Chain A
Amino acid sequence: MSSPPHRLELRGITKRFPGCLANDQVDLVLRPGEIHALLGENGAGKSTLVKIIYGVLHADAGQIRWNGHDTHIPDPAGARRLGIGMVFQHFSLFDTLTVAENISLGLDQPGPMDALSARIAEVSERYGLSLDPRRHVHNLSVGERQRVEIVRCLLQDPKLLIMDEPTSVLTPQEATRLFETLRRLAAEGCTILYISHKLEEIRALCDTATVLRGGRVVGSCDPRKETARSLAEMMIGTELSTPERLPQGEAGAAKLQVRHLSTTSDNPFATNLKDVSFEVRAGEILGIAGVAGNGQAELMAALSGEALVPDPASVAIEGRPAGHLGPRERRLLGLAFVPEERLGRGAVPELSLSENALLSGYAREPLVRSGLVHFGRARSYAERIIGAFNVVTHGHRAEARSLSGGNLQKFIIGREILQKPRLLVVGQPTWGVDAGAAAAIHRALIDLARSGAAVLVISQDLDELFVLSDRIAVLFHGHLSESRPTHHTSVEEIGLLMGGLFNHPPDEDEVDRAV
């Protein structure tokens, strides 16, 4: 009996963007019913490749064969007609529309809305993805939003399902449930192309792995026969050095105290904080874990001063009430701050690195005198950052947006650390950053804490928090759990907390937030 044709076969796929070769002669073979990992660092060309498969982008050269036949995928609708579905990393959902409307938009023949709602209920039931078709998407959690995407794909009875970094927004328990769904799909004959840089879950889930580096295929393997380290080395191309966890020094005086912090927002899409209390001491790193959308943005804003809080005493920096102070005044008290969005909040894309050095540097560095900008000093400050943090750029005149994600993040973190803060708050320090830069950033944060500053890291990446933090707490629906010493807890325990399994008063408003 001859083996069935390959589900999808790519030969020599090449895609060039101005200034970079995103895919270089990529070959890939996917078989029916297999779960195939596409592995690679940020910038390795994974996203480009799957966008080509899904018809969002077009290859400059190369061939695509589908079920043994040469084919051309003109656009996403064409991909869907072939039986290709895709769940994007950044969901393509519409906040103010309902679940059913959102799903309808992703289907070519959605039929009447009532019938569609019934089918949604049926499919979500069958695969254990509970979902109410009538709810508005902005009321859903991130995990539920992902279910919308998945159900949308399943309704088209896909032969190939592409999942782009699906677990980056899930708790470990939610991820486990997702894996069950994916395994069931594969057993029914659906091929799954699974994109990730999380090695453990690839070893747990996938049958085959193809590794991309710098736009080229550098190897393929059976991940179950590899170690996380060998996979990582294939991905990065050099030997891996994990930053070592130094034993924690003496925790000193509290640099940041948050007491009974609650927020209200006039943004209907916001998650309000509810009675959040914690403190960060000199010399320690506190990690705050949690799935996106559980109040991280609101906590960041309340700490940075971008949002003022009603009770000044609920945020204290170096023992001084600061809730009523704006970002500038808080910086003068010793706070430095690295926001989650680096381009568009932490840096102005169109401005030069010198000007971006001035952006937050003006408060603690002598860059402004009697209302006039000292451009010479801003420039030398930028050069100091570039030198100290190995920022790869063609100089202080480069626009911020010309830097790669990792280099821009090194620049921003460098800008904050060189201000010698007594307290540093960092959101998602290594999100979308290559492994080299991530290691450098982790090193810098640990060094800063060891030099006596307090560091608060808010991140969705549990691996990162376990590497960095001395203590970990979890944010869920605006509530913060008690913190636990990192060496006295486990990924499983933190995962349960991320799912909300800690004591907090029941919430009325998170069930039915007004539409």
Chain B
Amino acid sequence: MTLLRLEPRGEASRAMVYATPLLAVALTLASGFLLFWAMGFDPVKALHAFFIAPLLSLRGLGELAVKATPLVLCAIGLAIGFRANVWNIGAEGQLTLGAITGGGLALAFYGEGGWWLLPLMIVAGMAGGALWAAIPAFLRVRFNASEILTSLMLNYVALHLLNYLMHGPYRDPDGFAFPESRLFEADAVLPLLVAGTRVHLGSLFALLAVAAGWFLMARTFIGFQIKVIGLTPTAAGYAGFNQKKIIWLTLLLSGALAGLAGLGEVAGPIGQMNPTISPGYGYTAIIVAFLGRLHPVGILLAGFLMALSFIGGEAAQIALGLPKAITGVFQGMLLFFLLATDVLIRYRVRFGAKGAAGSGVGRAAA
């Protein structure tokens, strides 16, 4: 503690708010360099395969948008909750439920669909996610139970529920006991936006969510209440803002967005139901939300960066035989570095012993 000392700044540093995410990315790349080197790979090649190569083709860019879509959708909702100190970490489960309810409709109306099916699936997906998020909301508001733990527990429950459905009701009757559903019919699949890629309508929803999230937080009185509740709950109580209402609102909203993300996966790139809908989008979205500074525009950028880590991981696995697990390590490191460098926003770092003159008093006395 005497080597490194933190001195509070009078006011938060605006510059650091923007600088620390970049610093965190730089530190992550540097650590990645060392990590690859330690594992016996050529670090330059590996970083290139991971972070550059995927960006060099239209298909690669398209995949980036495809992967960023669920991340951004989930993170927008989570970030609004985090602003209000509502720690929903159940986006993974809410995403799964959205897929289960929305995708279930596609299977229920298999062979008898129409133009109405897709809109209905979207509504059902959002409702499913919101419903799943309503459980922690209810338990928090009514029983004071920590939404961190309840929403997380429900992730496991949702996963087991999906597993059950894939081995039972949702399974393709002609699929030889494989835990996969029938492929969705055309009227149950989200239309593609860019030819030659898999970019689908869901990406447009994600952009809309970014815009709506920004408007909510920057312009509306609800957004102001969310901010005050998150910063100083007692001041919110004094002002007469209804905290229970905000807990409900933020959880239902983030649940609905995560549900939409789940529906977008099964009705988009996957095109059917299977037991591995998400490679952990709901968890990675937490990183996206923080990396984006809980700000919708920041989240959009962070969503692309995290999407790149998913695609880069796959690409590097194919090109160089890098282990896939390295994606998770990169994501975790990035969040760590961000949290570590965030201290610079409110504090200056000083090196050297604390109060050199103070100990000078001691020396003078000796």
A and B found bound together: yes
Chain A residues packing against B (C-beta within 8 Å): 18-19, 58-64, 70-72, 74, 304-306, 326-331, 337, 339, 341, 344-351, 355, 358-360, 362-363, 368, 371-373, 399, 402
Q: A306-B237, A306-B238, A359-B239 are in contact. Are A348 and B362 (CB under 8 A)?
A: no
Q: Is the CB–CB distance between A346 and B235 below 8 Å?
A: yes
Residues of B within 8 A of A58 (CB): 354-355, 358-359, 361
Which of B7, B224, B354, B366 is close to A358, meaning CB atoms less than 8 Å apart? B224
B224 touches A328 (CB 8 A): no
A371: chain B residues within 8 A (beta carbon): 220-222
Chain A CB within 8 A of B174 CB: no
- Give the docked Cα–Cα distance between A355 and B228 (Å): 9
Question: For A360, what are the chain B residues with a Cβ–Cβ distance below 8 Å?
Answer: 238-239
Chain A minimum-CB-distance residue to B8: A18
Q: Which residues of B contact A306 (CB under 8 A)?
A: 237-238
Q: How far is the CA of A166 from the CA of B73 in the complex (A)?
A: 56
What 0/1 pattern do residues 1 to 32 of B give for CB contact below 8 A with A?
00000011111100000000000000000000
Residues of chain A contacted by B276 (CB below 8 angstroms): none
CA distance A328 to B236 in the complex (A): 11
Closest-by-CB residue of B relative to A355 is B224
Residues of B within 8 Å of A74, CB to CB, are 362
Q: Are A372 and B240 in contact (CB under 8 A)?
A: no
With A63-B364, A64-B361 as contacts: A327 and B239 at CB distance below 8 Å? yes
Q: List the A side residues contacting B354 at CB < 8 Å.
A: 58
Q: How many residues of B contact A (CB 8 A)?
A: 34
A-B pairs with beta carbons under 8 Å apart, 10 shown = A58-B354, A60-B355, A62-B361, A327-B237, A337-B238, A344-B232, A348-B228, A368-B221, A371-B220, A373-B220
Determine the distance from Cα of A226 to Cα of B227 in the docked complex, in whole angstroms: 52
Give B185-238 interface residues, CB cut-off 8 Å to A: 219-224, 227-228, 231-232, 234-235, 237-238
Contacts of A344 in B (CB 8 A): 232, 234-235
CB-defined contacts of A337 to chain B, threshold 8 Å = 238
Interchain CB contact under 8 A, A72 and B240: no
Q: Is chain B's binding surface mostly helix, strand, loop or mixed?
A: helix
Beyond known contacts A327-B240, A339-B238, A345-B238: 14 more, CB 8 A cutoff:
A18-B7, A58-B359, A58-B361, A59-B361, A70-B365, A305-B240, A337-B238, A344-B234, A345-B234, A351-B228, A355-B224, A359-B228, A368-B221, A402-B11
For A350, the chain B residues whose CB sits under 8 A away are 12, 231-232
Among A19, A63, A347, A372, the residue within 8 A (CB) of B221 is: A372
- Contact of A72 with B365 in the complex, beta carbons under 8 Å: yes
Question: In the complex, are the beta carbons of B242 and A326 less than 8 A apart?
Answer: yes
Q: Which of B231, B238, B357, B361 contacts A351 (CB 8 A)?
A: B231
Total inter-chain residue pairs, C-beta < 8 Å: 102
- Please tell me if the beta carbons of B12 and A372 are within 8 angstroms of each other in the complex: no
Shortest CB distance A335–B (Å): 11
Asked if B111 lies at the interface with its beta carbon under 8 angstroms from chain A, I say no
Is B279 an interface position by the 8 A CB rule?
no
Q: Is the CB of B10 within 8 A of A59?
A: no
B352 at the interface (CB under 8 A from A): no
What are the 8 closest A-B residue pairs judged by CB atoms, nearest first?
A58-B358, A327-B240, A72-B362, A328-B240, A70-B365, A60-B357, A58-B355, A348-B232
B235:A70 contact, CB within 8 angstroms: no
Are B240's CB and A326's CB within 8 A?
yes
Residue of A nearest to B362 (CB): A72
Q: Which residues of A contact B224 (CB under 8 A)?
A: 355, 358, 373
Assuming A61-B357, A72-B361, A350-B12, is B222 touching A363 (CB within 8 A)?
A: no
How far in angstroms is the closest Cβ of chain A from B276? Answer: 41
Q: Are A71 and B365 in contact (CB under 8 A)?
A: yes
Is residue B175 within 8 Å, beta carbon to beta carbon, of the partner chain?
Answer: no
Question: Nearest-CB distance from B304 to chain A (Å)?
Answer: 29
Nearest CB of chain B from residue A411's CB, rounded to whole Å: 14
Instruction: Tell me how far the C-beta of B361 lies from the nearest C-beta in chain A, rounded to whole angstroms.
Output: 6
In the complex, how many angstroms separate the beta carbon of A378 from the nearest chain B beta carbon?
9
Indicate with 1 or 0, residue by residue over B346-361, a CB within 8 angstroms of chain A CB atoms. Answer: 0000000011011111
CB distance from A333 to the nearest CB of B (A): 12
CB distance from B260 to the nearest CB of A (A): 23
A358: chain B residues at CB < 8 Å are 224
Question: How many angstroms between the C-alpha atoms of A74 and B194 in the bound complex?
Answer: 69
Q: How far is the CA of A330 from the CA of B220 in the complex (A)?
A: 23
In the complex, the answer to whether A349 meets B240 with C-beta atoms within 8 Å is no
In the complex the two chains form, what is the Cα distance from A350 to B227 in whole Å?
A: 10
Report how far A72 CA is from B228 CA in the complex, Å. Answer: 45
Q: How distant is the Cα of A63 from the Cα of B362 in the complex, in angstroms? A: 9
CA distance A72 to B360 in the complex (A): 9
A372–chain B nearest beta-carbon distance, Å: 6
Contact of B240 among A62, A341, A351, A363 (CB under 8 A): A363
- Nearest-CB residue, chain B, relative to A13: B361
Q: How far is the CA of A74 from the CA of B235 in the complex (A)?
A: 38
Distance between B138 CB and nearest chain A CB, rounded to angstroms: 19
Shortest CB–CB separation between residue B137 and chain A, in angstroms? 20
Which residues of A are found within 8 Å of B219, using beta-carbon distances? 372-373
Nearest B residue to A337 by beta-carbon distance? Answer: B238
* Chain A residues positioned under 8 Å from B242 (CB to CB): 326
Assess A59 versus B358: contact at CB under 8 Å? Given A18-B8, A327-B238, A345-B235: yes
| A208 and B9 alpha carbons, distance in the complex (Å) | 39
Please, how many angstroms separate the alpha-carbon atoms of A350 and B232 in the complex?
Answer: 9
For B237, the chain A residues whose CB sits under 8 A away are 306, 327, 345
- Do A341 and B360 touch (CB < 8 A)? no
A372 to B238, CA, bound (A): 21
What's the nearest-Cβ distance from chain A to residue B154, in Å? 27
* Given the contacts A63-B364, A371-B221, A347 and B235 also touching, CB distance less than 8 Å: yes
Provide the bound-state CA to CA distance between A71 and B361, in Å: 8
